[in-house]
Structure 1
Amino acid sequence: MTDKQIYELAIDDLASFGVWYFPMDESAEDELTVRPLIDKETCTDAQIIVRASFVGGDGSSYVGYLYWDGGGEVEYIKPVILLEDGSFVTFWNGMVEPSWADYSARAQELRNGLPFSYASDSLLELPEISGRLEGLYYLDGDRISWVC
């Protein structure tokens, strides 16, 4: 089986399988376990992530993933960029105000590429999700804010 922990996903994993899902049953190690999705009929009610492309305002480009959600709001799609060195940047931080200082030196370089546009790959008949990221997002009281 090709199960992984969500935080262990790498660029090569997304190149091999563009869609992953969270198997919420006894076959999964825990709630962070993801598995490649080959046929969307096999898990009609599971949370899935889909490979996405990210392009910075400076022309830089990266691969990552989005939690697939038709609404496309940052708090639901939770965009993540994966880097070659195994580090990553998550653009949704929930109720915790994020800081670029919490990321590796390589990941901090992405700050210079803001804003980022993103688009999910149209795989398994899932419509594309696209948008723009201005920084690291979080819930500030009752509104969404970001840190540039």
Structure 2
Amino acid sequence: MTDKQIYELTIDDLAFSGVWYFPMDESVEDELTVRPLLEEETCANAQIVVRTSFIGVDGSSYLGCLYWGNSGSVEYLKPVILLEDGTYVTFWNGMVKPSWADYSAKAQVLRGEVPFSYISEPLLGLPIISGKLEGLYYLDGDKIFSVT
């Protein structure tokens, strides 16, 4: 598997490698380039994303990823569900107020499954990150809000 842009990752990519990292050196196209992480020691100072399971309130299950880190805050984790059709449903939208209407009809089904519980996989010795998502999040001023 070769380098990809973070927004090009698919369910198959996450099945191949549960951890991807941002190399941030001259070998990559730009800062959005990720590469499969196969050995624990190659990620000492790299930002990484890790395969994560998302469970809806109705018990439905989805695969996605989040940025692994010490903070459990949604703005640092940037959780994403990947749907089979390639749609990304991102739960962190920065300073842009999100709308479920901006997503495809298939993705909008997720709205009825909120809140989502999530748990990252304990891969390459990385501790598990878990939590709950109440909706699509955004920053307004200095406060974080969610759209359910």
Tell me which interval the TM-score lies in, with the shorter structure as reference length.
Answer: over 0.9
Cα distance in 2 for residues equivalent to 1:60 and 1:12: 19
C-alpha deviations, 1:41-62, integer Å up to 9, x for none? 1131111000000000011100
SS at match of 2:65: strand
Cα distance in 2 for residues equivalent to 1:69 and 1:28: 22
Cα distance in 1 for residues equivalent to 2:108 and 2:99: 10
Cα distance in 1 for residues equivalent to 2:18 and 2:106: 24
Partner of 1:103: 103
Partner of 1:8: 8
**5+ long unaligned stretches in structure 2:** none
Partner of 1:94: 94
Matched, 1:65 2:26: no
Partner of 1:29: 29
Q: CA deviation at 1:140?
A: 1.4
**Structure 1 segments (4+ residues) deviating >4 Å:** none
Cα distance in 1 for residues equivalent to 2:14 and 2:98: 25
Partner of 2:114: 114
Cα distance in 2 for residues equivalent to 1:51 and 1:106: 21
Partner of 1:130: 130
Structure 2 length-normalised TM: 0.97
Query: What root-mean-square deviation, in Å, do the aligned CA atoms of Structure 1 and Structure 2 show?
Result: 0.8
Structure 1 length-normalised TM: 0.97
SS at match of 1:85: coil
